[in-house]
Amino acid sequence: MTNYGMVIDLERCIGCHACAVSCSQENNVSLDQQWNRILTEGGDSMDTPEGKYPEDGRDGTLSMNHLPMACQHCENAPCVKVCPVNATYKRDDGIVAIDYDKCMGCRYCMSACPYNARVFNYDEPETLPAEGTGNVEQREQGVVEKCTFCSHRVEEDLDPACTVACPADARIFGDLDDEESTVSRYINKYETDQLLEELETDPNTYYVRGDMTPGRKRHGNELEGTEKKEVGNPDGVATDGGESE
Amino acid sequence: MSTRRDSGVVVPQFGTRGKAWLALLGIVIVAGLAAWGYQLSRGLAVTGMDNVFSWGLYIMLFVFFIGLSAGGLIISSAPKFFHSKRYDSLAALGVLVSLGCIVVAGLLILPDLGKPSRVTGFLTSPDFRSPMVWDFGIVLLYGLFNVGYLWLLTRRDLAKMGSQLAFGVEDTPAGRERDRKLAFWAAAVAMPLAIALHSVTGWIFATQIGRGDWFNPLVAPMFIMKALVSGLALLLVTAIVVDRVTRFRMPRELVPELGKVLGIFVAVHIVYLVAAERLPHAWAANFEFWSITSAFLVGDTVHFWLWTVVGGAVPIALLAVPSWRRKVGVVFAASVAAIVGILFEGVYLIFTGYRDLNIDASPGVTTGTDYTGIGSDVWATVGSYTPTLIELLVTLGIVAVGAMIVTLGLRFLPVQPGGRKPSAVEAGETEKSDAETPPDAAVADGGYVVDGTDGDRR
């Protein structure tokens, strides 16, 4: 069986927000929402550090990290269990999906999700350009939506848009059930944690923190085990920012 | 031939005040419908909710009205279960009020939905893991049960006055005896049903790991207790108002008696259960004796104080003094305070769930409501919520539907058992302190002004 998951290497994340931008672009996300957010672990504002600036030759204490956040695609997904009408469900391949034609907009899933990964279309979705972007149909007003692991791309054997967009190779997408996949090898090799582990949601998204993860070997332009599957979407349009053209 | 008058209909016809009251309710309902229409056309963007604070007034009041619906059913069914005639004079009125409240609660779900037309999904593709599906089922069952139970309690009197609502039932002594037995069985169903309703509604919140204090095994017992408090308080308020503006006569000795029961309910709820809920947290999170004590006793939001002081300390103080609770006005005030307190408990519960994010690093969560153009700040790291006028209008409209149900019930159903001498004849109560309300005299002189107002503003 396939069980898709993601590893996000926080030692590699440079906080550039490219994954968030490409997510909104690829998935036609309204401008008042983001499925994929890059949080700053540091100061009170985005991209600011906490601590003191080094003065008078002393050591400073400045520190800042970034935490990319999106749907964690939990094994024990509370949102799936609360959905009264089966609109949110766990697919056989591990992706937590939403049937936008069934969702009645009760927002119980939003209160169930401890990660605040879900957004609701309070307003008519608004995009620039107005006719939409990317390769996913616009969702209606009045339904809940969230990260789908780019299921439309995964079904075409492509990596999610965020994974492709990451210039630091901090995101790795793959099959957690396959012991040989890069995600599995990463989880086995490095210390990884799942967000809010104590809530027992058992996310399919793992974060690598702590000691610097050694660089993976390069094969030509690619890092070991992370050949990016990026071209070949249904419309034949590149979603990698045009790099492959 | 019996007439409506002595069959127990407390509003034989609507007077001027009654018609004015109905017109007012009608206007409020129409205004609510118009507001809902506007909300449907513009989407939930016209509410105060956003992606962080994703449930607002509708759900707060849903919880509140679920609780309010408890009182009547408990008061009417608990004595019947023990084959007692106590509170018989309040039984039909109580179930009528319960019915009005459960209808309001059920209707409040509709405007909360982003796609109300898809509410049929509850029937076509339910997920039985969802506490909301359990609640949908139990609210429906409870509502239908209230209708049936109300009919059971009034059908012989309806037959007696020749109402079509009797649906062919005859008024015979044997039939009344049979209904009394049936009422026992109905009561045996009513109590577990009520307990299930309030617990399941509590479990909607208590099962959620992601929303702070919601994940708390005490929530369901708290819901039962606050249903008893607010439900009984509402029944007292309604009975006192209906007593004043219609022919309905509430036996005076029930006022201090039920007032005492209410005081005990409030004490168990606010003093005992709240303490039981807060103490372990306060103890575990603090070190010094006084910091434990203050964390235990001092709340941090205005909702908390409205709940525990207005809804707790005030009614307990008013009801604890025997000479005070014999005064109708005092019991009335205490009941209103208890209701207000429970309203703010619901508000408090929702706020504790939505105020803080589990992962609140900046910039936080996109609100989904704040985009006004390039450069707008669509982020939030704490939940905040103020209901909008639209939400208030829709809510008031739905509450008016409930008030309308109660009003029409008073007009067409014989809620006063045994006609105009309820307490003496049926309920076995002695009318010792009826100086203020001599029902017989009022009826006999035929000059009693009859109005349809029940003033039941809940």
DSSP B17-29: HHHHHHHHHHHHH
Number of domains present in the structure of chain B: 1
Residues of chain A positioned with their CB less than 8 A from the CB of B379:
46
Least confident segment among A29-33, B359-363, B381-385, B444-448: B444-448
Residue A112: predicted pLDDT? 96
Question: What band does B455 get if pLDDT is binned at 50, 70 and 90?
Answer: very low
**A199 domain residue, yes or no:** yes
Q: Is residue B429 part of a domain?
A: no
pLDDT at A60: 86
Q: Do the Cβ atoms of A136 and A26 come closer than 8 Å?
A: yes
Residue predicted with more confidence, B159 or B264: B264
Question: Would B122 be classed as within a structural domain?
Answer: no
Strand boundaries in B234-307, DSSP class E: none
Give the H or E element holding residue A9: strand A4-9
Residue type, B126: P
The tens digit of pLDDT for each residue in B331-345 reads 999 999 999 999 999
Between CA A93 and CA B41 the distance in angstroms is: 38
How far is the C-alpha of B388 from the C-alpha of B390, rounded, in Å? 5
User: Residue B438 falls within a domain, yes or no?
Assistant: no
Closest CB to B44: pick one of A67, A84, A142: A142
Contacts of A106 in chain B (CB under 8 A): 109, 112-114, 132
DSSP β-ladder status, A218-219 and A88-90:
unpaired
- For residue B316, being part of any structural domain is answered with yes
β-pairing, A205-208 with A4-9? parallel
In a domain, B213, yes or no: yes
For the cut 60, the answer to whether the pLDDT of residue B420 exceeds it is no
Residue B17 buriedness (CB in 10 A; 0-12 / 13-18 / 19+): middle
Predicted confidence at residue B274, as pLDDT, reads 86
pLDDT value for B75: 81
Provide the residue range defining the domain that includes B227: 5-114+135-362+380-421
Cβ(B240)–Cβ(B250) below 8 Å: yes
B362: which chain A residues are within 8 Å (Cβ-Cβ)?
Answer: 39-40, 43-46, 48
Q: Which residues of A touch B208 (CB under 8 A)?
A: 78, 82, 111-112
Banded model confidence at residue B365, pLDDT cuts 50, 70, 90: very high
What local confidence, expressed as pLDDT, does residue B447 receive? 34
Predicted pLDDT of residue B430: 35
Q: Could you tell me if the ipTM is greater than 0.95?
A: no
Residue B446 has pLDDT above 70, yes or no: no
A58: confidence class by pLDDT, cuts 50, 70, 90: confident
Residue A39 lies in a domain: yes
Residue pair B24/B455 in contact (Cβ under 8 Å)? The answer is: no
H or E segment to which residue A90 belongs: strand A88-90
Other Cβ atoms within 10 Å of B387 Cβ, number: 17
Q: Is residue A243 part of a domain?
A: no
Per-residue model confidence (pLDDT) at position B72:
81
pLDDT at residue A213 is higher than 90: no
Residue type, B255: V
Residue A53 lies in a domain: no
Return d(Cα B58, Cα B105) in angstroms, integer: 9
Query: Could you read off the pLDDT of B106-133 as tens digits, one per residue?
Result: 999 999 999 999 999 999 999 999 999 9
* SS3 at position B283: helix
The CATH number of the domain holding residue A71 is 3.30.70.20
Nearest-by-Cβ selection for A199 from B130, B133, B209: B209
Asked if the model's pLDDT at residue A194 lies above 80, the reply is yes
B378 pLDDT more than 50: yes
Q: Distance from CA of residue A21 to its chain's centroid?
A: 11
- Which chain B residues are within 8 Å of A110, Cβ to Cβ? 51, 54
- The chain-wide mean pLDDT, for chain B, equals 86
Taking an 8 Å cut-off on Cβ atoms, the answer to whether B125 and A104 are in contact is no
Residue A242 lies inside a defined structural domain of this protein: no
* Residue B452: predicted pLDDT: 39
- Reply yes or no on whether the pLDDT at B441 is more than 80: no
Q: Are the C-beta atoms of residues A110 and A144 closer than 8 Å to each other?
A: yes
B130 to A108: CB separation less than 8 angstroms, yes or no? yes
Residues of chain B found within 8 Å of residue A144, distances taken between Cβ atoms: 114
Q: Is the pLDDT of residue B438 over 50?
A: no
The pLDDT of residue B80 = 85
Shortest distance, CA B377 to any CA of chain A (angstroms): 9
Q: What is the pLDDT of residue B186?
A: 92
- Torsions phi, psi of A68, nearest 5? -70, 135
**Residue B22 — very low, low, confident or very high, per pLDDT cuts 50/70/90?**
very high
Instruction: Please report, for chain A, how many H helices and E strands are present, in that order.
Output: 6, 12
pLDDT at A217: 55
Segment B387-417, tens digit of pLDDT: 999 999 999 999 999 999 999 999 989 888 7
User: Which of B117, B207, B209, B215 best tests the A interface by mutation, with the highest count of A CBs <10 A?
Assistant: B209
SS3 content of chain A, % helix, strand, coil (to 5): 15, 20, 65
* Number of domains making up chain A: 1
Residues 6+ apart with CB under 8 A from B101: B65, B66, B68, B69, B231, B234, B402, B458
Q: Which residue has the higher pLDDT, B9 or B25?
A: B25
- The distance of Cα B193 from the centroid of its chain, to the nearest Å, equals 16
Q: Tokens 């070949």, residue?
A: A232
User: Is a pLDDT exceeding 60 seen at residue B423?
Assistant: no
**CB count in 10 Å sphere of residue B278:** 18
Q: Is the pLDDT of residue A223 over 90?
A: no
Of B52, B129, B366, the CB nearest to A34: B366
Q: Looking at the domain assignment, is residue A80 inside a domain?
A: yes
Residue A106: pLDDT over 60: yes
Which residues are CB-contacts of B29 (< 8 A; sequence separation ≥ 6)?
B397, B400, B401, B404
Quickly state the pLDDT bin for B418 (edges 50, 70, 90).
low
Contact: B55, A121; criterion CB under 8 Å: no
Task: Answer for the pair A52, A62: CB distance below 8 angstroms, yes or no.
Answer: yes
Residue A99 has pLDDT above 80, yes or no: yes
Domain carrying residue A164: 4-47+63-223
Most confident stretch, A100-109, A128-137, B169-178, B317-326: A100-109
| pLDDT above 60 (res A62) | yes
Q: pLDDT tens-digit profile of B205-259?
A: 999 999 988 999 999 999 999 999 999 999 999 999 999 988 888 888 899 999 9
**Residue B269 in domain:** yes
